Structure 1
Amino acid sequence: MLTYELTSRDLEEVRFALSPASETVLSLRALRDPGRFPLQLPWIRTVQPLLEDLDWTVLSHLVNDTMGSPDYLTPRPTSPLTQFTDELQLIAAVDQETFTRQHTAVNGELPEGLTPARVTTALDDYWQTVIAPYWNRMRTILSADITYRGHVLTQQGTGAMLNELGPAISYSQGLLKVDKVSAISRVEKVDGRGLVLQPTLFGPHAVIPYDPGAEPFLGYPPRGQANLWTVVDPPTPQDLAKLIGTARARILQLLTHPRTTTDVAAELGVTPSAVSQHLQLLRRTGLVEPQRAGKQVLYRPTELASLLTGN
C-alpha cells in the first residue's frame, strides 16, 4: 500500500493529466498477463498478429513480473493535451545513471545491450504499430473521465472526488491510500510537489511510481472502459461529408492544427466569410473551438471532431 499525506494546500493543487507514453508502456502489462485485463482483451486479440515484428528483446525488459516499470518511461504528465512525441523526447534524454539504476531495480540487473536509444526506438515502433491506431478511441474514454471527475470535484469537493477513483483508492483526513499496488507499504508526503491524477486503461487497480520518493502520481481506472471497444469505427470522409456537408467536412480535415479563418479560406480557394459561416456552425455543434493568439482567432477540432474524423 502507498499512502500519500496531503495538506489542505496539496488538495487545492491536485490536477489531472493524460500521458500517451504511460499508456504505451503500461499496455505491455496487458500483453504480459492478459488475464488481468479482461476489458482490454478485444484490443489484445486485434494486435496479437502485429507483435512479432517488434523488438521484444527490448520491450520484454520494460515491465517485470510484478508489473513494475522504470519511472523514466512514464514521465509525469503536465496536461490533458500531452503528445507522445514530446514524451518520447523526455524518455530519450534520460541520463545514464538514472537509466542504469531504474532498470537494475526493475529487472534485478541492467539487461545486456539495453541502451536509451534502443528503448526509444522500440517504444516508438510499438506505439506506431499497436497504440496509435487506437489512440483516439482510448483518449476519448480517458478525456471523458477527466471531465466527469472535474464535475464531481466542483460539486462535491476534492475528498469526494478522490474517494470515487476506484475500489483500491480511499481518502480520509489528509490521507490518500492506494491498495493493491505494492507488497511493501510506504507513506510519502506530497509536500507541495503537486499530485497528478491520470486515468489509465492498464492499471488494473491503480498505478504508482516504482521509486519511493518519486514525484507524486496516481493512475486510476477510468469510467466507461466496458464500452471502449464497442465504439464504432470512425466514418469515411464520404460518410462524414454526407453527415455534415462536403465543405464543413473538408474544413475539419484541414484543422490538423489550430488555423485562422483566412488560412483555411486560402487553402480552400474561397472567401473568409464563407469559411467563417461554416466555422460558426461547427462551433455551435461542438465540433470546433476557438482560441485567441494575440489579435488572431485560431480554430481547432474538439475531441468529438477528432473521433468523427479519426485524426
Structure 2
Amino acid sequence: MESAARIDHVLTYELTSKDLEEVRFALSPAAETVLSLRALRDPGRFPLQLPWVRAVQSLLEGPDWEVLGQLVNATMGSPDFLTPRPMSPLTQFADELEIIGRVDQETFERQLEAVNGESTTLTPGRVVEALGDYWQTVMAPYWNRMRTILTADITYRGHILTQQGTGAMLNELGPAISYSQGVLKVEKVSEISRSERINGRGLVLQPTLFGPHAVIPYDPGADPFLGYPPRGQANLWTVVAPPTPQDLAQLIGTARARVLRLLTHPRTTTDIAAELQVTPSAVSQHLQLLRRTGLVEPQRAGKQVLYRTTELAQLLTGN
C-alpha cells in the first residue's frame, strides 16, 4: 500500500456507470495493523493519533521489530500482500492473517524487495507470527474504539450515497480525492502518476486512521482500492471509557445487557437463546426493544436473520 505523500503524483481510476454501482465499503483490521506501523515510524505525520502512539510506547518491547521494521519503508510504502483487499465491514483479523500466510513465495519476495530495495530473508510464517503478536499487544486493546469511528464513518458515507449519489459521496472522502464524470483522482501519492480502469473489478473504499490523506495499492494494476480518512478522528482519543457491565445493566436491564454482550459478532435469535438458556421468544422481545432504541440491527444471511450491534451499542459495551 501507498499513502498520500509529499510528491505531487496522481492515481486516476476510470469508472463506468456499472463500476459506480459496484462501489463498496469495507473494514480491514489487518490494514489498520500494518498502516499503524507508519504512525510509530513517523509520529509527526499522524498528529491525530499521537495519544495512541504515546499510550503504546510501553508495549513495544514485545513484538518482533526485526520483522515489523521491514514491513513499511521510509516513504510509508508497504507490500500489498499484507493488506488483502477486504470485501465487508465485518472482516475479522484472524481471517485476514490466514490469507496473508498463504501468499505465494514469488509475490512475497518480489513485493518485500520492491518496498525495501533489497532481498529478504523473511518467511510468510514469521511475518504472520510477528503481525499476530503486534495485533494482540498493540492494536487489540484499542480496536473497539477505532472500529467504532470507522464503522460510524461508513454509515455516514452510506447515507450520502443513498441520498445524493455515488459521485457526491466520492467527492466528500477527503481533500486529496476528487471525482468528476467517471474519473476518480487521488492526488499527492508517492508513486509515479498512473491511470487505471476499474473494468468491473469493483472499487473498495476503506476508512483508515493511519493514512492522513489517502491510501492506494503499492503495485500498479492491483485490485482497485482506496483508503480515506474517516470523520470524527479528532475526538477518537477523548471519548470516555465505556461503562462497566454493572453500569450497562442498570441502564438497560440485566437481560438486555447480556444480549448485547453476546453480540460480539452477528448471531441468530436461536443462537442467543441457547447461549443464555432461555426461550427464543424471550430473546426476540429483548431484540425488538434493542432494535427500536437503535442498539441492534438485523442482517439477513440467506434464510437466517442475524442481529448485530450498532455503533451506539459498541460505544456502550466496548464490543
Q: TM-score range by the shorter chain?
A: over 0.9
**Residue 66 of structure 2 is aligned to residue 68 of structure 1:** no
Gaps in structure 2 of 5+ consecutive residues = 1-9
Q: CA-to-partner distance for each residue in 1:168-208, whole Å, 9 max, x for gaps?
A: 11112222111121242111111211111111111111001
Matches within 5 A, 1:109-258: 109-112=118-121, 114-258=122-266
**% same residue:** 85
Whole-angstrom distance in 2 between the partners of 1:257 and 1:9: 32
Q: 1:260 to 1:104 in 2, by over 3 A?
A: closer
Q: CA-to-partner distance for each residue in 1:225-250, whole Å, 9 max, x for gaps?
A: 10111111111111111111122212
- Code of the aligned partner of 2:117: G
Q: 1:244 to 1:198 in 2, by over 3 A?
A: same
- Code of the aligned partner of 2:156: Y
Q: 1:151 to 1:257 in 2, by over 3 A?
A: closer
- Code of the aligned partner of 1:188: E
Moved more, 189-198 or 93-102: 189-198
2:56 is aligned, of 19, 37, 47, to 47
Contact 2:109 2:120 (C-alpha < 8 Å) held by counterparts: no
**Residue 90 of structure 2 is aligned to residue 81 of structure 1:** yes
Q: 1:190 to 1:241 in 2, by over 3 A?
A: same
SS in 2 for 1:66: coil
- Per the TM alignment, residue 301 of structure 1 is displaced from its structure 2 partner at its CA by 2.9
- Code of the aligned partner of 1:40: Q
- Code of the aligned partner of 2:315: L
- Per the TM alignment, residue 302 of structure 1 is displaced from its structure 2 partner at its CA by 2.9
2:46 is aligned, of 20, 33, 37, to 37
Contact 1:25 1:74 (C-alpha < 8 Å) held by counterparts: yes
- Code of the aligned partner of 1:136: N
SS in 1 for 2:120: coil
Contact 1:2 1:182 (C-alpha < 8 Å) held by counterparts: no
Moved more, 149-158 or 39-48: 149-158
- Per the TM alignment, residue 265 of structure 1 is displaced from its structure 2 partner at its CA by 4.1
- Per the TM alignment, residue 283 of structure 1 is displaced from its structure 2 partner at its CA by 1.9
Q: 1:293 to 1:25 in 2, by over 3 A?
A: closer
Structure possessing the higher relative contact order (Cα contacts under 8 Å, 6 or more residues apart): 2
**Residue 26 of structure 2 is aligned to residue 17 of structure 1:** yes
SS in 2 for 1:31: helix
Q: CA-to-partner distance for each residue in 1:141-190, whole Å, 9 max, x for gaps?
A: 11111111122222222222111111111112222111121242111111
Q: 1:260 to 1:171 in 2, by over 3 A?
A: closer
Whole-angstrom distance in 1 between the partners of 2:159 and 2:265: 28
- Per the TM alignment, residue 277 of structure 1 is displaced from its structure 2 partner at its CA by 2.8
Count matched residues.
Answer: 310
Q: 1:60 to 1:193 in 2, by over 3 A?
A: same
Gaps in structure 1 of 5+ consecutive residues = none
Whole-angstrom distance in 1 between the partners of 2:87 and 2:47: 29
TM-score by length of 1: 0.93
Q: 1:180 to 1:242 in 2, by over 3 A?
A: same
- Code of the aligned partner of 1:204: P
Whole-angstrom distance in 1 between the partners of 2:164 and 2:280: 45
Structure 2 counterpart of 1:99: 108
- Code of the aligned partner of 2:289: L
The CA RMSD over aligned residues, in Å, is 1.8
Contact 1:181 1:205 (C-alpha < 8 Å) held by counterparts: no
Q: 1:295 to 1:91 in 2, by over 3 A?
A: closer
Structure 2 counterpart of 1:290: 298
Q: 1:269 to 1:51 in 2, by over 3 A?
A: same
Whole-angstrom distance in 2 between the partners of 1:263 and 1:190: 40
Whole-angstrom distance in 2 between the partners of 1:103 and 1:140: 32
Moved more, 258-267 or 54-63: 258-267
Moved more, 280-289 or 199-208: 280-289
**Residue 13 of structure 2 is aligned to residue 4 of structure 1:** yes
Whole-angstrom distance in 1 between the partners of 2:58 and 2:172: 37
